[in-house]
Amino acid sequence: MKRFASSALASLLLSLGSVATSHAIEILRWERLPLAVPLLVGQERVIFVDRNVRIGLPDSLGAHLRMQSAGGAIYLRASEAIPPTRLQLQDVESGALILLDIAAEPAKAGQAPLEPIRIVEGDGTPSRPENPATSRADEDESGSTGESIGTFTRRATPVPVILTRHAAQNLYAPLRTVEPVPGIGRVNLRRNISLDTLLPTLPVRAQALAAWRLEDQWVTAVKLTNTSARPLELDPRALQGNFVAATFQHPNLDPAGRTSDTTVVYLVTRGHGLAESLLPKIAPINAVQNLPPPGAAGATGVGHPSTGGMRDEE
């Protein structure tokens, strides 16, 4: 009986050991130095980063490496041997980068599968920014942009870059590829905003399309259409208004009537939307409006010189 119990206990310990081994995870600390990630050909390796990341993959690996990302995990599977190659992981929220040096080689006979990897921040790595939605909520409650500026989190990628990229993806990329950015929200936009003073030196028709906001900055997408028969070069210096940043989707416009006679400019403003950042429209001065009406006392009309009270002398 004791021998049976000992055998059962040994089997249980072996099974627990195998379970623990199969669920072991290799911990890699990101200390701003590239992390080595070896791969075995034909085997999938999982990397947990616990954040939404964008992956930079060299074109040379497209046919040799299958890569998927979901729920803060990255799945890598090499179909053939791969020399040491660097990948970039970019935090969608903060823009921070993590560098991976991958290399794939054929598995040796009897070699165990590689363990999953979890990437954690090292002691010398700046902590991840807090959710910017919290700062925005505080701003909405206080009702004052200036009072909440101090609560905004420092980001690795400037806010104008994040906003412009998000707006461009919403307008030009397929919806399934638009990356969610915590804290960015669509804002109401008056479609009848007069944009006559935006590019007064160019023959273009401007129309506001959509706007988004992150922290205390707004980005407004404005459609520009060439109304002339000549091509136009677009220069941000020709824009009139108080803008933090301005980016054209295309650098030039073809003559009116062609498919490429239209583009979009992304205007980033701080503290308010586009309408408050435009220059006021000044009406041309009509001096006639300041003259007294004809026939009024003291009025001087053409062909009717005033005697000015002088007596006639012959």
Least confident of 38-52, 118-132, 227-241, 268-282: 118-132
* Region of residue 130 (phi > 0: left; psi between -120 and 50: alpha; otherwise: beta): beta
Q: What is the mean pLDDT of residues 218-241?
A: 95
Alpha carbons 255 and 248: distance in angstroms, whole number: 17
Least confident of 8-12, 199-203, 244-248: 8-12
Alpha carbons 218 and 209: distance in angstroms, whole number: 13
Strand partners, 221: 210, 266
Over the stretch 144-169, which tens digit does the pLDDT of each residue have?
A: 444 444 456 677 789 999 999 999 98
Q: Please give the pLDDT value at position 288.
A: 61
Res. 302: pLDDT tops 80: no
The token pair at 88 is 């970039």
pTM of the model: 0.48
Residue ranges, comma separated, of all CATH 2.60.40 domains in the chain are 23-121
The token pair at 48 is 């947990």
Distances (CA, A) of 114 to 86, 98, 119, 165: 19, 21, 15, 37
CA torsion through residues 301, 302, 304, 310, sign: positive
Query: What CATH number labels 23-121?
Result: 2.60.40
Q: Please give the pLDDT value at position 23.
A: 52
* 140 band by pLDDT with thresholds 50, 70 and 90: very low
Q: Please give the pLDDT value at position 297.
A: 55
Q: Where is pLDDT greater, at 159 or 126?
A: 159
Res. 250: pLDDT tops 90: yes
Over the stretch 21-71, which tens digit does the pLDDT of each residue have?
A: 445 788 898 888 999 999 999 999 999 987 778 888 888 887 889 988 887
Over the stretch 69-91, which tens digit does the pLDDT of each residue have?
A: 887 889 999 999 999 999 988 87
The token pair at 124 is 């010398």
Q: Answer yes or no: are the C-beta atoms of 264 and 249 closer than 8 Å.
A: yes
Res. 307: pLDDT tops 50: no
Q: Please give the pLDDT value at position 311.
A: 46
Distances (CA, A) of 177 to 49, 141, 168, 174: 20, 33, 12, 6
Burial environment of residue 289 by CB neighbours within 10 A (0 to 12, 13 to 18, 19 or more)? exposed
Q: Please give the pLDDT value at position 92.
A: 72
